[in-house]
Amino acid sequence: MSTPKTVGNEHGYLCPNCDKGTELLIAASKRISLILKQDGFAIDDESEVEWANYSHVDCLLCGWEGAVRDLLKVKMGPRAESQIGSNKREAS
């Protein structure tokens, strides 16, 4: 499934101020695994990026700041573009 260009990201997040999702900066953590060896360590390439509902978000387009839980969530699918601008949150 491809992401509509108007949403701007594969998670369906939109800024609640400007309804854009192309320039959202989320404070995330990258979990890495270290493999300890006799002469040091190696980094396991199967690392993951994680964030939570309370993680800080900046919209680089309009300057809005908040938390992930404050972002608008658009249901992804064929009707995703019709939801943009409606400011309705996806039911949790």
pLDDT attached to residue 5: 45
Domain residue limits at 72? 13-76
User: How many other CB atoms are found less than 10 A from the CB of residue 47?
Assistant: 11
C-alpha torsion 17→9→69→82, nearest 10: 60
Q: Is there a domain that residue 21 lies in?
A: yes
Provide the number of structural domains found in the chain: 1
CB 28 within 8 A of CB 44: no
Q: Is there a domain that residue 85 lies in?
A: no
Angle at 78 between CA 58 and CA 56, to 5 degrees: 15
Q: What is the pLDDT of residues 22-74, one digit of tens each?
A: 999 999 998 888 889 989 988 877 777 889 999 999 999 999 999 999 999 88
Q: Is there a domain that residue 44 lies in?
A: yes
Residue 81 has pLDDT above 90, yes or no: no
More reliable by pLDDT, 18 or 78:
18
